[in-house]
Chains A and B, each alone.
Chain A
Amino acid sequence: MTGKNKLHPLVELQMDRSWQDELQQRLGKNGPWDEWVLYKLAIEAQHARKIDSFDELQSLRVLPALEPMPHQISTARKVLDGMGGRAILADEVGLGKTIEAGLVLKEYMVRGLVKKALILVPASLVLQWVRELNQKFGISAVAQKKAHTWHYDVVVASMDTAKREPHRELLLGTDYDMLIIDEAHKLKNKKTTNYQFVTQLRKKYCLLLTATPVQNELEELYNLITLLKPGQLGGQSDFAANFVIDKRQPKNEGDLQDALSGVMIRNRRGDGGIHFTKRIVRNIPLQLSTEEKALYDAVTNFVKQRYDESGGDLTSMLSLVTLQREVCSSRDAVFITLVNMFKKTAEDSPVRAKIWELVEYIKQIQANTKAEAALQLIREMDEKVIVFTEYRATQEYLLQYFRSHGLTAVPYRGGMNRGKKDWMMDLFRGKTQVLIATEAGGEGINLQFCHHMINFDLPWNPMRVEQRIGRVHRLGQTEDVRIYNLCTLGTIEEHIVNLLHEKINLFELVIGELDEILERFEKQEQSLEKQIAKAMLESSGNRELSSRFQQLGHSLSHVREEQRYEPNQRTDQAFKPLLDSVSQPVEVKP
């Protein structure tokens, strides 16, 4: 029951009268009646929650634990006060676009202007978004898993899922108070299904997040803005006529800047830039013992034989590749994989005997050269240190090995539940000197209080190495970070360390740079990880392996050079003046 009257030529008053019936009914039945104390508390609660002004940020009031940086707050304000809640957030990498989006979302939710929100992100970021929204912003966001998840108020999903039936139809039939899209540069092409899908979604407020709103041609920028607010830059032909000389050269820049600054906010690092501390890398070359070397060679031969027998089929080689990687880590890791492999092999297969032979090699090994080296290192540094390994079995072994030498360490694994993870972190923050981690992902681990890390073994995927380093080398780290790579000579590991260290210069890159290098590299060829696996499986001997790695290193160096010296291809160069003109420099200090 509502009534409507005009308060002003432009403003209608809507009166909700449902309370009248309810009260009348209770009077008729003489109850039930609520308590006087609660009646008073109810009005007190309402007073506490009242939104007094149009523009004072409420979200900061309700999030006392969150301390956003000044540019993040001013960005949120601008979106709320000046842009009506539709904006492109185009900060450079690492300045906290997620925080800005979270602030805007929270503000609208506190004000009761947003109830239903949809957040579309790349699949790999779904859980991270869910965690951040819950932990930092107290927003009960849910990761989309099943069809019924869509009914929750705040849902985080991958674009690929959302645009597919049956989800697509359901989403297009829903009114979203707010839509947030992360990595929105993937929407730069008008003809893609992603673009069409987002255009059709019904939304009130909308945030598009991207560090690179324009990469190759101005039209991308036009498309992105048109997605957000059709007509903001006129029709396609208006835009071309008014603002474009050629693909990469704008004209009437003043007008273009005005138009852009109405819909886009970009913060970039000031000349001071982010003041990260240094990364100091030390490779520790180790000579395997005779027994270990024997196992390594035996496994290498075994792997290669299986590969040759399969006729060069890469897809089924996963466990073999794993074996080859594990043998650089610990015999325990190898053993577990061998056992599993044994179980899966047919009883009458000759391979079974070969697996047993390998186990015999394992039995011969008395000591772990790497573990000894790690223990010695840890004792020498006498400070907090994280040891990263890829393998659970190695982790268990190290825990036990360290303990038997009077050194307490705590484990950290992706599979642990939240409570246990926090507890392990507590212990590490407290008295324990060593944390042994198998997982580098997950925003949960911020380890600024520690500045030593040992790569007990190295992932073949450089991003995973970067993630490991990022746990320690981040905002808030006040010391130089020391990275130790344990590297067994004469094994594939030696090549990997060389590739990551010398060729990509991974350990000294600026944050965000690695992404770009890999993206370019993998655009031309397969993923680096796959290429390493292929090189390893296909090489007939050490010499061939070396030359394959040299080739890889060569093309990586090439990509790096290209990226550095071909400014035309890079976003920041061709469009830098334009983007800079609509952006604010911010000084970010750790």
Chain B
Amino acid sequence: MNAKQIHRFVQHYLESTDCRIIEKSPAHFKVKLSPLADRILTNRPYYWGFVDRTGAEPETMSFLFVTDKEKYDQSVEEQTAKDGPDQTDAALARSFGYVHATTAGARMPREDLYYGSKRLEQLFEAARSGGSYVCLFQEPDTKKSHPMESTAYTPWLGLNMRVEFQCDRKREEIHSFGVSLATGQCVEQFQDRLSGLRMTPRLPPNVHIARSSVTLHKAAGMIEQTLEKKLRTYDYGWAEEAAQRLEEEQQLIAHYYDAMLASAEEEAKTHIQTQFENRKAEIDWQYKPRVLASAINCGIFHLAGID
């Protein structure tokens, strides 16, 4: 994720949670959080508990989110050079209580949002948990539609999936499926098809929905089959290598523990046997090749047209 993508991501998040953007450039946002975003992002359960119990007017936090550190620092430097040098060393100012002109008023902590930073990770997590299940309707194209005619919409099940290929190492893929609940047709890259559309949570006027002939359960089954069929065609060289490492290690420990068991005294044997079993399990845990598929998010999408 580059600085530009992060910037866009942050902007979308702030907008969708009704935060007030006080100032922005392509490299930063100064933002006053909405109560909703404050609850999610600032980890102040006691404060919000207090607000909820007393009904006090909440005072949300403000942040300086820097999405492109280099650019931002440079622009600040240029600004300072233009305004003449800062008279007060920032650190000294803090100790003597001068208030820095630009931070007068609300305290505005700076957070650098780069890929891997904790705050961005938190925004990712917030998006994930706040965007899991949807039920949406495509906004009709008002120019084209005739006021007296009703447009037919098809309900789709949309499912974004994460597929993990795992042994002692791991890689991932993301798959996006859509199944028409009217016809049962299953398509891939469904999210791409959706992303260009404008959506609304309410049923638009002059729209009728085609009857579902496929149950959710059945649609899910079709997605699973499609995915499975696709995954069968993959190269499993990585898994064969892992399985071979697993086998080699199992042989090594079998040799080791068998010899130990053979020469051990009776009372020590149980103990050795336990160690042996534990070690076997550890090797399986470490190397066993497997593929895991799970949902990232899903929803019902009502799209114009019958298909």
Q: Is the pair B130, A47 in contact by a Cβ cutoff of 8 Å?
A: no
Residues of chain A within 8 A of B245, CB atoms compared: 84
The verdict on B59 contacting chain A, using a C-beta distance below 8 Å, is: no
B164 to chain A minimum Cβ distance, whole angstroms, is 8
Q: Is the pair A203, B282 in contact by a Cβ cutoff of 8 Å?
A: yes
B128 to chain A minimum Cβ distance, whole angstroms, is 5
Residues of chain B within 8 A of A86, CB atoms compared: 286
Q: Is the pair A41, B133 in contact by a Cβ cutoff of 8 Å?
A: no
The verdict on A423 contacting chain B, using a C-beta distance below 8 Å, is: yes
Q: Which residue of A lies closest to B238 (CB)?
A: A54
A134 to chain B minimum Cβ distance, whole angstroms, is 10
A27-B216 contact in complex given A46-B160, A430-B91, C-beta closer than 8 Å: yes
Q: Is the pair A14, B290 in contact by a Cβ cutoff of 8 Å?
A: yes
The verdict on B240 contacting chain A, using a C-beta distance below 8 Å, is: yes
Q: Is the pair B239, A11 in contact by a Cβ cutoff of 8 Å?
A: yes
Q: Is the pair A39, B282 in contact by a Cβ cutoff of 8 Å?
A: no
A73 to B217, CA, bound (A): 48
Q: Is the pair B278, A202 in contact by a Cβ cutoff of 8 Å?
A: yes
Q: B137-167, CB under 8 A of A: which get 1 and which 0?
A: 0000000000000000000000110101110
A105 to B286, CA, bound (A): 15
Residues of chain A within 8 A of B290, CB atoms compared: 11-14
A380 to B249, CA, bound (A): 67
Q: Which residue of A lies closest to B295 (CB)?
A: A19
Q: Which of A1-15 contact B (CB under 8 A)?
A: 3, 5, 7-8, 10-15
The verdict on B72 contacting chain A, using a C-beta distance below 8 Å, is: no
B166 to chain A minimum Cβ distance, whole angstroms, is 7
The verdict on A44 contacting chain B, using a C-beta distance below 8 Å, is: yes
Q: B105-135, CB under 8 A of A: which get 1 and which 0?
A: 0000000001111100001110110111111
Residues of chain B within 8 A of A431, CB atoms compared: 89
Residues of chain B within 8 A of A8, CB atoms compared: 232, 236, 239
Q: Which of A28-80 contact B (CB under 8 A)?
A: 30-31, 33-55, 61-64, 80
Residues of chain B within 8 A of A111, CB atoms compared: 169-170
Residues of chain A within 8 A of B170, CB atoms compared: 51, 54, 111-113
Q: Is the pair A10, B89 in contact by a Cβ cutoff of 8 Å?
A: no
Residues of chain A within 8 A of B16, CB atoms compared: 35, 37-38, 41
A427 to B299, CA, bound (A): 55
The verdict on B41 contacting chain A, using a C-beta distance below 8 Å, is: no
Q: Which of B183-218 contact A (CB under 8 A)?
A: 191, 195, 199, 201, 216-217
B142 to chain A minimum Cβ distance, whole angstroms, is 19
Interface of A is mostly: mixed
A41-B131 contact in complex given A11-B291, A52-B171, A199-B275, C-beta closer than 8 Å: yes
A16-B294 contact in complex given A34-B134, A44-B9, C-beta closer than 8 Å: yes
The verdict on A148 contacting chain B, using a C-beta distance below 8 Å, is: no
Q: Is the pair B169, A80 in contact by a Cβ cutoff of 8 Å?
A: yes
Q: Is the pair B128, A46 in contact by a Cβ cutoff of 8 Å?
A: yes
A417 to chain B minimum Cβ distance, whole angstroms, is 14
For A10, give its contact among B171, B174, B234, B239 (CB under 8 Å): B239
A10 to B300, CA, bound (A): 36
The verdict on B224 contacting chain A, using a C-beta distance below 8 Å, is: yes
For A36, give its contact among B13, B134, B286 (CB under 8 Å): B134
A37-B15 contact in complex given A22-B133, A50-B174, A51-B171, C-beta closer than 8 Å: yes
Q: Which residue of B lies closest to A31 (CB)?
A: B135
For B296, give its contact among A18, A22, A46, A84 (CB under 8 Å): A46
A419 to chain B minimum Cβ distance, whole angstroms, is 10
A426 to B94, CA, bound (A): 12
Selecting from A231-239, A469-477, A494-502, A523-531, the interface stretch reads A231-239
Residues of chain A within 8 A of B94, CB atoms compared: 423
Selecting from B19-27, B79-87, B255-263, the interface stretch reads B255-263
The verdict on B76 contacting chain A, using a C-beta distance below 8 Å, is: no
Residues of chain B within 8 A of A85, CB atoms compared: 168, 286
For B228, give its contact among A5, A41, A45, A46 (CB under 8 Å): A5
Residues of chain A within 8 A of B222, CB atoms compared: none
Residues of chain B within 8 A of A18, CB atoms compared: 295
The verdict on B74 contacting chain A, using a C-beta distance below 8 Å, is: no
The verdict on A549 contacting chain B, using a C-beta distance below 8 Å, is: no
The verdict on B243 contacting chain A, using a C-beta distance below 8 Å, is: yes
The verdict on B12 contacting chain A, using a C-beta distance below 8 Å, is: yes
Q: Which residue of A lies closest to B191 (CB)?
A: A43
A16 to B293, CA, bound (A): 6
The verdict on B292 contacting chain A, using a C-beta distance below 8 Å, is: yes
Q: Is the pair A48, B201 in contact by a Cβ cutoff of 8 Å?
A: no
The verdict on B50 contacting chain A, using a C-beta distance below 8 Å, is: no
Residues of chain B within 8 A of A113, CB atoms compared: 166, 168-170
A43 to B176, CA, bound (A): 10
A49 to B176, CA, bound (A): 16
Q: Is the pair A20, B220 in contact by a Cβ cutoff of 8 Å?
A: yes
Residues of chain A within 8 A of B132, CB atoms compared: 22, 34, 39, 42
A46-B220 contact in complex given A34-B131, A113-B170, C-beta closer than 8 Å: no
A-B contact pairs, 15 of them (CB 8 A): A7-B234, A10-B240, A10-B289, A11-B239, A14-B290, A16-B294, A23-B298, A34-B133, A38-B16, A42-B128, A45-B124, A46-B296, A54-B238, A84-B287, A111-B169
Chain B residues packing against A (C-beta within 8 Å)? 1, 5, 9, 12-13, 15-16, 89, 91-92, 94-95, 114-118, 123-125, 127-128, 130-136, 159-160, 162, 164-166, 168-174, 176, 191, 195, 199, 201, 216-217, 220, 224, 228, 231-232, 234, 236, 238-240, 243, 245, 249, 252-257, 259-260, 275, 278-279, 281-282, 285-287, 289-300
Known A-B contacts: A18-B295, A38-B127, A84-B287. Give 8 more (CB < 8 A).
A7-B236, A40-B195, A41-B12, A44-B127, A46-B128, A47-B174, A61-B116, A111-B170
